[in-house]
Amino acid sequence: MTEPIRHKKPPSVLIVDDTAADLQMLSEMLKERGYLARAVISGRLALQAVRNDPPDLILLDVSMPGMDGYETCAELKADARLKDIPVIFLSAHAETADKLKAFSAGGVDYITKPFQFKEVEVRVETHLELRRQKFQLQENYDRLRGLEELRDSLVHMIIHDLRSPLAGIYGFLELIREKATHTLSPDLLHYIGDALGSAKQMARIIDDVLDTSKMEEGKLKLKLTDCDLSGMLEKAVAGLRPLLAGREIRVTPPETTPKVMADCEMLSRVIQNLVANAIKFTPRKGGVIRLDVDSSGGMVRVNVHDNGPGIAAEYRHKIFEKFAQVELPAGRQKNSTGLGLTFCKLAVEAHGGRIGVDGEEGQGSTFWFELPAAARAL
């Protein structure tokens, strides 16, 4: 069966002018070119016509008795339902001040009388096409937004489903290590330790995904206490040593022990993510990761330096976006940063701080974050 052809409704143009000759000429010419043309003789009638049946574009005369074109346009733009309808002014006034007043009232274009219809036609076509593209852009954005929400919901569901089996894997590995410590070879015990480390890393990824969603929705509440950053750095390094595989981590202790008022558990995960990210992109042979803390101007700064491939300037903001990918110099391969750095950014900003990355491509990277220092008791 042949599907019937669906014809698109032609664009509608409302012409507002108190001169009958101009109304008739514009109406006839626009209709000849396939537009739906309506004509009214005053600003009040124009407002009524637009509210009853909004057009795609308005041709609006400036000089009219009662309500002039400027007032009519300003009232249209004050209505949220009608403000996006493009208004092209028609006027015998050619002064710059008149044109500026028209644009200030909300007009998108200005045609002086006596006009050439070809000019009117071209400007009408141009602004209708701009309007069509604007609608198309909004539709595309809404569609992409819907797909993003669907993706996030799917990821959220999968992550929830992974939590239970992962907890089982971790628990049984712990049980095997506990029960068979004296019967298994050192190599097997080492493998079990590596597997436990990987399970812990997977658990951190799951927590990052779930907490990123909560922070984006404003549903994650911070449990603020005094946090010792120096101790957090040492703890993060200790927990990630099984992943080093030949890399070296150096922690430079600060002269004083800086403290911040923060959610210590969340902040510890931020540090772990930054260190794990440095390990991931630092070469095993000769790889060195340096951690330090300093404070100045009421802010405490944590730095994680590595001698990996570095990040090009154009990617330094992108890497903190969800599921972002960056290109690395070696073979120009792409590496996904997943949600770890996104979680770090949201967590640091939730504490009133900021996060970033410095360094040059091919010369390593320095990931850092700053938080307000905890106020000292008087």
pLDDT, tens digit only, all 378 positions of the chain? 444 444 468 999 999 999 888 899 999 999 999 999 999 999 999 999 999 999 999 999 999 988 999 999 999 999 999 999 999 999 988 899 999 999 999 999 999 988 888 999 999 999 999 999 999 999 999 999 888 778 777 777 777 778 788 888 888 888 888 888 888 888 888 888 888 888 887 887 787 777 777 777 777 788 898 888 888 888 888 877 777 878 888 888 777 777 788 998 889 889 988 988 888 888 888 889 999 888 888 889 999 999 888 887 777 778 888 766 665 554 444 444 457 888 889 899 989 999 999 887 778 899 999 998 875 432
Same domain, 258 and 356: yes
- Assess if residue 55 is contained within a domain: yes
Residues 278 and 366 in one domain: yes
Residue 264 and residue 286 in one domain: yes
In a domain, 133, yes or no: no
Count up the domains in the chain and report the number.
Answer: 3
Tell me phi and psi for residue 145, to 5 degrees: -65, -40
Nearest partner of 216 among 147, 149, 316, 140, judged by Cα: 149
* Residue 222 · residue 262 · CB < 8 Å: yes
Residue 45 forms part of a structural domain: yes
CATH assignment of the domain containing 285: 3.30.565.10
Could you tell me what percentage of the chain is helix, strand and coil, using 3-state DSSP and rounding each to the nearest 5? Answer: 50, 20, 30
Question: Do residue 257 and residue 368 come from a single domain?
Answer: yes
Residues 212, 104 within the same domain: no
Of 165, 200, 216, the residue at which a domain comes to its end is: 216
**pLDDT score at 147:** 85
Q: Kindly calculate the radius of gyration of the chain based on its CA atoms and give it in whole angstroms.
A: 32
What the block records as the tokens of 283 is 């070469």
Residues 230 and 341 in one domain: yes
Domain that holds residue 183: 146-216
Q: Are residues 275 and 306 in the same domain?
A: yes
Whether 267 and 359 share a structural domain: yes
User: Taking a C-beta distance cutoff of 8 angstroms, is the pair 273, 339 a contact?
Assistant: no
